[in-house]
Amino acid sequence: MAEIVGAIATSHIPAIGKAIAEGRQNEPYWKPFFDGYARPREWLAAMKPDVAVIVYNDHGLNFFLDKMPTFAVGAAATYSNADEGWGLPVLDAFDGDADLSWHLIENLVADEFDVVSCQKMLVDHGFVVPMALLWPGGGPWPVKTIPVSVNTVQHPLPSPGRCYRLGQAVGRAIESYPKDLRVVVLGTGGLSHQLDGTRAGFINKEFDRLCLRQIVSDPEALARLSVHDLMEQAGAQGVEFLNWIAMRGALHGAVTQLSCTYHVPISNTAGAVLLLENRKQAQRRVA
Ligand code: DHB
Ligand code: FE
């Protein structure tokens, strides 16, 4: 049976992709941030997952405001990146696992999550920057990928509770897949940031620290927040934390935190990376 070995939550800020492309990782501005990825990379090298299920948000490359699915799951054999206008190099395409994708989609719909299935899907910085951070060197990528996109862009957004339960359904679906695959779940985006409006530049370190604690030990407290609580506390784009909440739902009730780093600011955002391992003996909570 497929097994979820753990999860990594990480920022996906485009400036990180630019720093990687320009080899700036050891510059004083970037070093403390990139140092946080040493442990997750080491863990991935040891765990050798076969598949990464990546919960992220598209920012207008694949979905635009004219058609905005609340939840969408990739079901393609490959996913291409494309130029979004951030000046980032277009990265090598990512292999999918269409068979596992359809298993997820079938189980999610049976669980009343009526996701959009995407047999063609471009993946943007929300997906590719974490891949470039976690598997440096670019393609060919050593894992197959399944994009799970959450609308964090156009209101109404799904609630934290709904995203947590989606993650739980994703977790149950993965663990009911009959092939012996090792799966890592990624959640991307955040932490607090607001890119526009009168609060542009807003960062809330106190709330971020609370999120970093509760995502490990009490995700259900986060799942009880409203989207408006999250916007108020984390900023209009800080709602990307919904992706982290969904990622956490896919893990078991009890997890082990192997590393966590938080660094402010990266571009306009509080940067963070968190590595969690699933405890094998821990029970999956019933949704
Ligand atoms: C930034 C952060 C994001 O999450 C994003 O999608 C784009 C830009 C930033 O801080 O620059
Ligand atoms: Fe973003």
What are the pocket residues of ligand 1 if the criterion is a CB atom closer than 6 Å to any ligand atom?
12-15, 59, 189, 193, 237, 240, 267-269
Catalytic residue annotation: 125, 193
Complete DSSP assignment for 10-78: E---HHHHHHHHTT-TTSTTTHHHHHTTHHHHHHHHHH--SEEEEEE---SSS-BTTB--SEEEE--SE
Give the distance (Å) from ligand 1 centre to CA of residue 239. Answer: 12
Percent pLDDT > 90 in the chain is 95
Evaluate if residue 167 carries a pLDDT over 70: yes
pTM: 0.97
Name the average pLDDT for the chain: 96
Looking at the CA of 56, which ligand is closest? Answer: 2
Give the distance (Å) from ligand 1 centre to CA of residue 267. Answer: 7
The 10s digit of each residue's pLDDT in 1-54 is 999 999 999 999 999 999 999 999 999 999 999 999 999 999 999 999 999 999
Give the distance (Å) from ligand 2 centre to CA of residue 282. Answer: 32
Q: Given this model, what pLDDT does residue 253 score?
A: 84
Give the Cβ contact number of residue 117 at 10 Å: 18
The 10s digit of each residue's pLDDT in 233-278 is 999 999 999 999 999 999 988 999 999 999 999 999 999 999 999 9
Q: Which residues of 242-269 are buried (b: 16+ CB within 10 A; e: fewer)?
A: bbbbbbbbbbbeebeeebbbbbeebebb
Averaged pLDDT, 176-182? 98
Averaged pLDDT, 195-215? 98
Q: State the amino acid at position 1 in one-letter form.
A: M
Evaluate if residue 147 carries a pLDDT over 90: yes
